[in-house]
């Protein structure tokens, strides 16, 4: 009996790891691997690592592969298969990644911005299934966003749509990597978050975070904050509530501007769970225009650890 | 010889005046009138005033009228022809304005949010003709916005899209009418603008604004600031530059979020002209993400005084 299940390869190109998997058209991972990106060795090495990782999952593969999808940070010109300036790969300007991979494996290949890929994946397999329009927000080193409008990804005129992280909530705030000031990313991006908590911890001598980091501030990570939160540490609780507040302020502005009222929250710090979601919900609802107040929905992403791989593979199953 | 020109009635429903005109399908006003809105006498009186004004332009009219378009502030449910809570008419909750007017005159009637109507008018007859996508920003008592995406008005899920005025640029800023804090409207809306200039004028004893208001702060209006600007008053110049800066900050956030990079600036204070446009342009370009920097276009609206009437009439010529 012949199976009608289709398969694709999903490639999650991060600054630290290249994660690759074979994924079914229902979003199930059949086989996966993860290798070092070796970003510091430059773009050619990174491309070689991608090829190596794809080769590993395709080795001895008997399934019919419909295509290879690659999710990458940075600006992606989808029609041309080009990835531009991914922030974590020094020296990478413009690489025609899709055609390189396609020519190597003779398998149709698509590239997409990783936040857009995550949005497509949540729409097809995750928390976004039942919504016509929503904005996917990925919290990590940066704050990414993908806009699904009427069941389609909305890329904007130049492929830059959904850069929610660079909505400024304080025009006199600290300078962001992007050059602007007070972007919400400077309030909730991992790096900034860790830095702020490091600074403020000295005023919270009785926070259990001190124990978790053995009194060594350099050991602080979002995961430590999450552990303290789960143990009801008062300071971690406040940090996460603040995080939700800052993000909620930005989302209220976005909702007012484009009247999309459903936001799906994913990415690394989504481990902060319900306290984070509740804080975002409260702030966004309290700040949007009256006509939207009852309509704001803040929802946790469904796809967790392998969201990047599944998101990338979904590019192949997605008909735009 | 029979003419192929088509005509519509455009109604610009403001808090002070109801302006009505007969407009050709090339955006030319044939005949017009303006009467007191009598907002303080409540919704029934306002509807009566609208009927009176339309009656005046239709009196002795020989032209074939294709329809009546009404632009109104507030949330407008286009499909149902309902205008909700226009901010300047006390007591007006929900009025089925389209069917009231349609039943009275037996002419097809459409209603639309006034900022959306202005956006449609600029697309059809004004500065937006050559752009596929742009955002119309109307500066007045409030700051309105209309989004044209791929040559169509984008209303969002609940008809609230384009509320650019309620993008917050300072989450700790002063409270806005809408309940939120630091909305760009609290920096550039007429009322706030006048108030801020009134406060700051005492530090600028040598500004010529003092002469223009006969040293009576209560006489200050945006028009006075415009007059001082035209005479190169240093303080008025600074005020307008600041206005552009604040608006530019909000527009940069909007451009980053939805990747629309053309903004058409209209409304009352567009009399500030080039200095305002230049300040918005400089700020927006300096604050958006690198991939958008060269693409930001800030353009003055083309339709000036009668933009409201022409915008409303364009609802009849516009095929959505």
CB-based contact A163 B252, cutoff 8 Å: no
Whether A164 and A258 map to the same domain: the answer is: yes
Q: Which of A74, A148, A184, A253 to mutate to test the interface with B (most CBs of B within 10 A)?
A: A253
Write the CA distances from A179 to A51, B91, B251, integer angstroms.
Answer: 34, 46, 15
Residue B1 lies in a domain: no
Whether B78 and B187 map to the same domain: the answer is: no
Write the CA distances from A176 to A25, A168, A185, A187, B208, integer angstroms.
Answer: 39, 9, 7, 10, 39
Chain A residue at shortest CA distance from B171? A169
CB-based contact A289 B162, cutoff 8 Å: no
Residues 66-85 of B with CB under 8 A from A: 75, 84
Tell how many helices (H) and how many strands (E) occur in chain B.
10, 13
Mean pLDDT, residues A304-316? 90
- Name the DSSP class of B262: E
Interface contact B170, partner A, CB < 8 A: yes
Cα-based angle A11, A17, A23 (whole degrees, multiple of 5): 30
Q: By the 8 A CB rule, do B134 and B149 touch?
A: no
* DSSP string across A42-55: -HHHHHHHHHHHHH
Reported residue count of chain B is 320
Whether A93 and A75 map to the same domain: the answer is: yes
Measure B177 CA to nearest chain A CA, in Å. 10
> Which residue, B121, B75, B69, is CA-closest to B98?
B69
Residue B126 lies in a domain: no
Interface contact B48, partner A, CB < 8 A: no
- Return all residues near A6 (Cβ < 8 A) that are at least 6 apart: A24, A25, A64, A66, A317
Tell how many helices (H) and how many strands (E) occur in chain A.
10, 13
Residues in chain A within 8 Å Cβ distance of B168: 169, 249, 252-253, 287
Q: How far apart are CA A295 and CA A83, in angstroms?
A: 36
Q: Is the dihedral of CA A183, A184, A190, A195 positive or negative?
A: positive
Q: What is the pLDDT along chain B (320 residues), one digit of tens a residue?
A: 456 889 999 999 988 899 999 999 999 999 999 999 999 999 999 999 999 999 999 999 999 999 999 999 878 899 999 998 887 788 898 999 999 999 999 999 999 999 999 999 999 999 999 999 999 999 988 898 999 998 999 988 777 788 999 999 999 999 998 899 999 999 999 988 999 999 999 999 999 999 999 999 999 999 999 999 999 999 999 999 999 999 999 999 999 999 999 999 998 777 799 999 999 999 999 999 988 999 999 999 999 878 889 999 999 998 76
Interface contact B141, partner A, CB < 8 A: no
Whether B160 and B225 map to the same domain: the answer is: yes
Q: How far apart are CA B70 and CA B308, in angstroms?
A: 9
CB-based contact A253 B168, cutoff 8 Å: yes
CB-based contact B161 A75, cutoff 8 Å: no
Whether B75 and B145 map to the same domain: the answer is: no
According to the model, what pLDDT value does residue B320 have?
65
Q: How confident is the model at residue A16 (pLDDT cuts 50, 70, 90)?
A: confident
Q: By the 8 A CB rule, do B247 and B282 touch?
A: no
CB-based contact A157 B291, cutoff 8 Å: no
Strand pairing of B75-77 and B17-24?
unpaired
Residues 199-218 of B with CB under 8 A from A: none
Instruction: State what percent of residues in chain A have pLDDT above 90.
Output: 81
Residue A2 lies in a domain: no
CB-based contact A159 B290, cutoff 8 Å: no
Interface contact B172, partner A, CB < 8 A: yes
Whether A163 and A116 map to the same domain: the answer is: no
Whether B43 and B99 map to the same domain: the answer is: yes
Q: By the 8 A CB rule, do B155 and B116 touch?
A: yes
CB-based contact A84 B171, cutoff 8 Å: no
Strand pairing of B29-36 and B82-84?
unpaired
* pLDDT tens-place string over residues A101-115: 999 999 999 999 999
Residues in chain A within 8 Å Cβ distance of B181: 287
Strands (E), B57-212: 65-72, 75-77, 82-84, 94-95, 109-113, 134-139, 143-149, 152-154
Instruction: Give the SS3 label for residue B320.
Output: coil
Q: What mean pLDDT, rounded, does chain A reach?
A: 93
Say if residue A277 is exposed, middle or buried (CB neighbours under 10 Å; 0-12, 13-18, 19+). Answer: middle
Whether B148 and B289 map to the same domain: the answer is: yes
Mean pLDDT, residues A183-187? 96
Q: How far apart are CA B154 and CA B146, in angstroms?
A: 8
Q: Is the dihedral of CA B89, B95, B96, B99 positive or negative?
A: negative
Q: By the 8 A CB rule, do A162 and A144 touch?
A: yes
Strand pairing of B134-139 and B143-149?
antiparallel
Q: Tell me phi and psi for residue A175, to 5 degrees.
A: -75, 140
- Name the DSSP class of A281: H
Residue B40 sits in which domain range?
A: 7-120+306-317
Mean pLDDT, residues A122-140? 94
Measure B233 CA to nearest chain A CA, in Å. 27
Residue B2 lies in a domain: no
Residue A153: its H or E element? strand A152-154
According to the model, what pLDDT value does residue B85 have?
81
In this structure, what CATH number is given to the domain that contains residue A92?
3.30.420.40
* pLDDT tens-place string over residues A264-306: 999 877 779 999 999 999 999 999 998 899 999 999 999 987 8
Q: Compare CB distances from A180 to B158, B259, B287 and report the shortest one's residue.
A: B287
Whether A189 and A69 map to the same domain: the answer is: no
Residues in chain B within 8 Å Cβ distance of A249: 168, 171
Residue B197 lies in a domain: yes
Q: What burial letters (b/e) apply to A190-203, b meaning 16+ CB within 10 Å?
A: bebbbebbeeebee
Q: Tell me phi and psi for residue A231, to 5 degrees.
A: -95, 15
Tell me the sheet residues that pair with B8: B23
Chain B residue at shortest CA distance from A76? B291
Residues in chain B within 8 Å Cβ distance of A171: 169-170, 246, 249
Whether A85 and A150 map to the same domain: the answer is: no
Whether A68 and A23 map to the same domain: the answer is: yes
Residue A137 lies in a domain: yes
Number of domains in chain A: 2
Residues in chain A within 8 Å Cβ distance of B163: 256-257, 259, 289
Measure A10 CA to nearest chain B CA, in Å. 26
Residues in chain B within 8 Å Cβ distance of A259: 155-163
Interface contact A261, partner B, CB < 8 A: yes
Q: What is the ipTM of this complex?
A: 0.90
HEC string for B46-77: HHHHHHHHHHHHHCCCCCCEEEEEEEECCEEE
According to the model, what pLDDT value does residue A161 have?
86
Q: By the 8 A CB rule, do B115 and B266 touch?
A: no
Interface contact B293, partner A, CB < 8 A: no
Residue B178 lies in a domain: yes
Q: How far apart are CA B309 and CA B32, in angstroms?
A: 9
Residue A55 lies in a domain: yes
Chain B residue at shortest CA distance from A159? B259
Whether A163 and A247 map to the same domain: the answer is: yes
Measure B287 CA to nearest chain A CA, in Å. 5
């Amino acid at each position: 009996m012949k199976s009608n299940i289709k398969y694709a390869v999903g490639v999650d190109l991060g600054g630290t790891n290249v994660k690759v998997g074979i994924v079914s058209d229902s979003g199930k991972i059949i086989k996966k691997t993860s290798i070092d990106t070796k970003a510091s060795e430059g773009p050619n090495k990174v491309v070689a690592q991608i090829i190596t990782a794809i080769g590993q999952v395709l080795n001895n593969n008997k399934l019919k592969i419909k295509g290879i999808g690659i999710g990458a940070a940075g600006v992606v010109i989808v029609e041309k298969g080009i990835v531009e300036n991914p922030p974590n790969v020094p020296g990478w300007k413009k690489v025609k990644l899709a055609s390189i991979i396609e020519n190597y494996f003779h398998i149709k290949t698509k590239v997409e911005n990783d936040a857009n890929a995550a949005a497509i994946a949540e729409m097809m397999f995750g928390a976004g299934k039942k919504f016509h329009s929503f904005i996917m927000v990925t919290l990590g080193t940066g704050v990414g966003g993908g806009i699904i409008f009427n069941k389609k990804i909305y890329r904007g005129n130049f492929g830059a749509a959904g850069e929610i992280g660079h909505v400024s909530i304080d025009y006199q705030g600290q300078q962001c990597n992007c050059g602007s000031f007070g972007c919400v990313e400077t309030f909730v991006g991992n790096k900034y978050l860790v830095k702020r908590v490091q600074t403020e911890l000295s005023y919270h001598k009785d926070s259990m975070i001190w124990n978790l980091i053995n009194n060594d501030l350099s050991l602080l990570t979002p995961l430590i904050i999450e552990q303290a939160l789960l143990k009801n540490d008062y300071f971690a609780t406040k940090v996460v509530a603040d995080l939700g507040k800052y993000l909620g302020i930005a989302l209220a502005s976005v909702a007012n501007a484009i009247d999309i009222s459903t936001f799906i929250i994913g990415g690394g710090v989504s481990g902060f769970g319900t306290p984070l979601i509740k804080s975002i919900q409260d702030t966004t609802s309290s700040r949007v225009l009256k006509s939207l107040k009852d309509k704001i929905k803040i929802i946790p992403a469904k796809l967790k650890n392998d969201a990047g791989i599944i998101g990338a593979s979904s590019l192949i199953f997605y008909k735009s």
